[in-house]
Amino acid sequence: MYPVSVTVSASRYTARYIAGFAWLMTLSSFVQAASIPVRHLVGIHDTPYSNMTGGICPYLYSTTIGAVCSLNQSTGQDSAKIELDVIGKFDEMAYDDFHKLETKPTEDLVQRVFSERKFNSASGIATLSSYFNRSHISFTPLRLVQAYYVSNPVFPEVHYVRAMDSIFTVQHTFHFDLNRITEDFRRGQLMFSVMPWVMQRNRNYVDSDLSDLIISQKKEKKSTSLHQDISLAARYVPGTPWLRGITLTAKNLNGVEKCRDCQDHLLDIDSDSRRRFQLSADFGGSFPVGAFILGAGVESQTEEDAKTPVRLNLTAVYKLTSFGFYSSFNETITRIGFLYEGNLYKSGIIYTNEKQVNALRFERKNEAFLVLGCSL
């Protein structure tokens, strides 16, 4: 292994060596315990609406009373349709640097990446969905998450991880009118959604020093896994003017995806196929121009360093005829964005401020995601 620069003074070299050794020892303690998780910027079941509302509204549509959150895309009266949705990180440099680090890195590139002292990642998802009545089938041919990090200023080491997922999902939502069940029960509607899904994930890991990468002898490992799971959701719609609904969701009941190689690498993709529970309520109303939705929910925490067992999510939506302005907040990420929905296509941008990895206390990052969609 070779240092990045050999024309440095002894004192400068010593200082860099001490700093690099201390940093390397810190990272080694994490590697011995577990890999450092890379947070998902785009989840395996993210729709444009769920991403923008922090998962409180899986789908959102407009009716005569204004904007409404829903468990499914259709109101039950719409005709069948096919849609393509794409969400991707709008950061060309991240992809370019990742490609260069993966193929043929140079000392100048590694020096620049390390001097910026930032952890970088990128992600995107493309989903083809067929909706009919209260059911839908969706296929995600590619959900990509990748990240890289350069550690140790004296003997640079490049770490990167890439996950390429393919996901097949089926969902059906049952509707029950409660006033038909018993006269004493409060008038309203109960929805129950069942969503089984299958995911195939291909992972690539590299943990190599700079000299190995330059001579094209990178230490790369690959793994493939298949995961089957099911998610359930129940939503009570009381039919009141302001309270639009209360939703209870049990996600990924089969639990954690098994990965034999995850503990052997510095970085890993923090799988959002872990078991989660979420309880949320959304409120809505209309103005002379436009409609709004306010939502709040609590979700079980799965991060290893979570300070509390649950996380509070908040969202606010203001919707005009075709434009929607969205925001959501929790302790990890803040999202603000807009979405235009035409008859045949949708487009928008999501701006995020996110704490990527709690374990290493990386600084919060500002990023932008592009949202595109069309009806086929």
Q: Is residue 262 part of a domain?
A: yes
Q: Concatenated DSSP letters for 55-106? A: TS-SEEEEETTEEEEESSSS-SSSPPEEEEEEEEE--HHHHHHHHHHHH---
Q: Is residue 319 part of a domain?
A: yes
Q: Is residue 364 part of a domain?
A: yes
When pLDDT is cut at 50, 70 and 90, the band that residue 18 belongs to is very low
Instruction: Give dist(CA 15, CA 71) in Å, integer.
Output: 57
Give the strand pairing for 267-269 and 36-38: parallel
CA 116, 119, 122: angle at the middle one, nearest 5? 120
Instruction: Give dist(CA 219, CA 212) in Å, integer.
Output: 8
Please tell me the predicted confidence (pLDDT) of residue 127. Answer: 95
Q: Which amino acid is at 354?
A: E
Which range marks the domain in which residue 95 is found?
A: 10-375
When pLDDT is cut at 50, 70 and 90, the band that residue 204 belongs to is confident
Query: Residue range 150-175: average pLDDT?
Result: 84
Q: Is residue 327 part of a domain?
A: yes
Instruction: Give dist(CA 313, CA 319) in Å, integer.
Output: 20
Out of 122-131, 225-234, 236-245, 355-364, pick the least confident. 355-364
The total number of structural domains in the chain stands at 1
Q: Is residue 5 part of a domain?
A: no
Please tell me the predicted confidence (pLDDT) of residue 92. Answer: 64
Please tell me the predicted confidence (pLDDT) of residue 23. Answer: 42
Query: Residue range 2-16: average pLDDT?
Result: 38
Query: Residue range 289-303: average pLDDT?
Result: 88
- Contact (CB, 8 A) for 110 and 158: yes
Q: What percent of the chain has a predicted confidence (pLDDT) above 90?
A: 30
Which residue from 206, 203, 178 is spatially nearest to 192, judged by alpha carbons?
178
| Helix, strand, or coil (residue 179) | helix
Please tell me the predicted confidence (pLDDT) of residue 350. Answer: 94
| Helix, strand, or coil (residue 10) | helix
- Contact (CB, 8 A) for 3 and 332: no
pTM of the model: 0.79
Q: Is residue 219 part of a domain?
A: yes
Query: Residue range 225-239: average pLDDT?
Result: 91
- Contact (CB, 8 A) for 16 and 9: no
Please tell me the predicted confidence (pLDDT) of residue 246. Answer: 94
Out of 27-31, 106-110, 330-334, 350-354, pick the least confident. 27-31
Residue 307 has pLDDT above 80, yes or no: no
Torsion of CA 325, 327, 333, 339, to 10 degrees: -20
Query: Residue range 264-284: average pLDDT?
Result: 84
Please tell me the predicted confidence (pLDDT) of residue 31. Answer: 42
Q: Is residue 308 part of a domain?
A: yes
Q: Is residue 3 part of a domain?
A: no
- Average pLDDT over the chain reads 78
Query: Residue range 78-103: average pLDDT?
Result: 75
CA 70, 137, 177: angle at the middle one, nearest 5? 40
Out of 20-34, 73-87, 179-193, 324-338, pick the least confident. 20-34
